[in-house]
Amino acid sequence: MRGARARLRWCGAALAILLLVGGCAPGRAAPGPGDPAGTRDVGVQLFQWTWNAIARECTDSIGPAGFAWVLTSPPQEHVTGPEWWTSYQPVSYRVESRLGTRDEYRTMISTCHRAGVKVLADAVINHMTGKDAPGVGWAGSAYSHYDYPGLYSDAGGDFHHCGLTPNDDIVDYTDATQVRFCELVNLADLATGTAHVRSTIVAYLTDLRSLGIDGFRIDAAKHMPVDDIAAIVSQLPRDTMIVQEVIRGAGEPITPEQYVGNGRVDEFGWGVAVKGLLTGGTASLYRDLGPAWGFVDPDDAVVFVDNHDTERNGTTLSYRQGATYALANVLLLASPYGTPEVHSGYAFASKDAGPAQDANGHVQDATCAAGVGPTTQYTPGGWVCQHRWQDVVGMVGWRSAVGDAPVTHWWDDGSDALAFARGARGFVAVDAGSAPIDTTLPTGLAAGTYCDVITGGLVDGACTGSSVTIRADGTAHLVVPAGGAVAFHVGARIDG
């Protein structure tokens, strides 16, 4: 029931507005790490956004900004209640939820496709509900803890009862058997090794594919055997995108590396490490943040500053950290490591708090206020809209402009400041310290005047923010504000 990791295994023909190059190898995402300039690979998780709101956002913001894909919250029928996690307790596989109807989901997908944005669904297939008492789901389906009419039953052997711990709950994450066969906080654990459970899950995922969905983030993948997931995804079309949530834990026997044969995995370690580097660590160590830190290979990793779980449990930064959080997103989008996913959710005062809902429990459509950013004061229930922050929007374009160019012209002060180029395509400087950085650095870019995409983009040939002048020798005088960044690229050249 944690965040979603999306391995993008697509190879289908890409829309011209999304990809400027064609073709991909079987079983890998297109685009991804190592792609030429002009391609897009950045995803965004619109957590608890309604289907109608996502459709509008694809057209108005996500598509124009250059995002490649959007991750939706789980679309299946769920238990009732105001908390966010009700979406992660399936009652049936009907595509009817407090976020919208089946028709609205289908329409949202086609709308996003027209905007050049692919769509992933958060697929909760490890478990059903965690309710001991019988109930009725959002769309009217009756259920009990281990009985879901027309789907699963205890009598049919559709659930694990590990018998290893009190109440069958996981208590020891160093025991792989417990993690995969006992219950995650009382959630009825599906016996994914059985033919009936597998075929039922495949039928649900196939139904979502029929609505136009491009792929899935497999929730709680860590709690399913690798071979069980393989047996399920092998029955899906070859161009299905797969991302698996496998949380890395120190000293635990289950690791993300074990799952990469099924698709990409979320590399939680990246966000945890960036938090440490920017809040008391040494920011310059960011240079080697990747396999050298024990993370999965770049082509297998989906990386993020935070997701809906980590922003609540504090293992990573969140919108509450304002400027530091924005800096982390700059580093996320500047890095050549992995496929980045930006999180965009709502402000909350308590860990369980759900999104704003009407009197009948329907989630209200998300709206983004003008000028949202790291200094905005958010009230509980208000939409944070991180994907619209200028720091993020500017760096999504920056990432597309630099493509697969290598890291060059590295500079750091051994502490809180760093800067680097991506070949001759882009340059970024970050100051995580308490005082501005005033220095002259080689950039690797051609002489000219460039728009700083952190402070504003290039619109109709005019820079809406600050500008940077690169001299004939390729150097630039940079003043990087404390807790801020400067970034420019070949596509944001004012005099070019």
CATH number of domain containing 484: 2.60.40.1180
Q: Supply the pLDDT for residue 386.
A: 98
Q: Supply the pLDDT for residue 458.
A: 87
Token look-up 């124009």 returns: 64
Burial of residue 218 (CB within 10 Å: 0-12, 13-18, 19+) is: buried
Q: Are residues 359 and 409 in the same domain?
A: no
Q: What is the pLDDT along the chain (496 residues), one digit of tens a residue?
A: 433 333 333 333 232 223 222 222 223 333 344 556 788 999 999 999 999 999 999 999 999 999 999 999 999 999 999 999 999 999 999 999 999 999 999 999 999 999 999 999 999 999 999 999 999 999 999 999 999 999 999 999 999 999 999 999 999 999 999 999 999 999 999 999 999 999 999 999 999 999 999 999 999 999 999 999 999 999 999 999 999 999 999 999 999 999 999 999 999 999 999 999 999 889 999 999 999 999 999 999 999 999 999 999 999 999 999 999 999 999 999 999 999 999 999 999 999 999 999 999 999 999 999 999 999 999 999 999 999 999 999 999 999 999 999 999 999 999 999 999 999 999 999 999 999 999 999 999 999 999 999 999 888 889 999 999 999 999 999 999 999 999 999 999 998 6
Domain end marker among 346, 373, 401: 401
Q: Are residues 191 and 321 in the same domain?
A: yes
Question: What is the CATH classification number for the domain harbouring 254?
Answer: 3.20.20.80
Q: Supply the pLDDT for residue 14.
A: 30
Say if 35 falls within a structural domain: no
C-alpha R_g of the chain: 22
Domain end marker among 367, 401, 435: 401
Q: Are residues 415 and 305 in the same domain?
A: no
Continuous segment of H or E residues that includes residue 295: none
> How many Å apart are CA 205 and CA 231, to the nearest integer?
13
Is residue 217 within 8 A of residue 71, CB to CB? The reply is yes
Say if 414 falls within a structural domain: yes
Q: Going by DSSP bridges, is the β-strand pair 462-463/458-459 parallel, antiparallel, or unpaired?
A: antiparallel
Q: Which of 365, 389, 391, 364 is nearest to 378 (CA)?
A: 389
Q: Supply the pLDDT for residue 310.
A: 98
Q: Are residues 327 and 459 in the same domain?
A: no
Is 245 marked active-site?
A: yes
Q: Are residues 484 and 357 in the same domain?
A: no
> How many Å apart are CA 474 and CA 148, to the nearest integer?
66
Buried b (16+ CB within 10 A) or exposed e, 337-354: bbbbbbbbbbbbeeeebb
Domain residue limits at 204:
43-401
Q: Are residues 394 and 416 in the same domain?
A: no
Q: Which of 175, 214, 219, 412 is catalytic?
A: 219
Coil, strand or helix at 35: coil
Is 172 marked active-site?
A: no
Q: Are residues 334 and 381 in the same domain?
A: yes
Is residue 425 within 8 A of residue 336, CB to CB? The reply is no
Say if 420 falls within a structural domain: yes
Q: Supply the pLDDT for residue 433.
A: 95
Q: Which residues contact 234 (CB under 8 A, 6 or more apart)?
A: none
Is residue 413 within 8 A of residue 437, CB to CB? The reply is yes
Task: Give the Å distances, CA to CA, from 430 to 3, 320, 480.
Answer: 28, 20, 7
Domain end marker among 355, 386, 401: 401
Q: Are residues 454 and 337 in the same domain?
A: no
Q: Supply the pLDDT for residue 496.
A: 65
Buried b (16+ CB within 10 A) or exposed e, 154-183: eeeebbbebeeeeebbbeebebeebbbbbb
Q: Supply the pLDDT for residue 2.
A: 36
Q: Which of 41, 168, 245, 412 is catalytic?
A: 245
DSSP result, 133-170 = S-EE-TTS-EEBTTEETTTEETTTT-B----SSGGGB-
| Overall domain count for the chain | 2
* Identity of the residue numbered 306: D
Q: Are residues 242 and 314 in the same domain?
A: yes
11: left (phi over 0), alpha (psi -120 to 50) or beta: alpha
> How many Å apart are CA 169 and CA 178, to the nearest integer?
8
Q: Where are the beta strands (DSSP E) in 181-307?
A: 215-218, 241-244, 264-266, 301-303
Q: Which residues contact 359 (CB under 8 A, 6 or more apart)?
A: none
Say if 30 falls within a structural domain: no
Q: Supply the pLDDT for residue 22.
A: 27
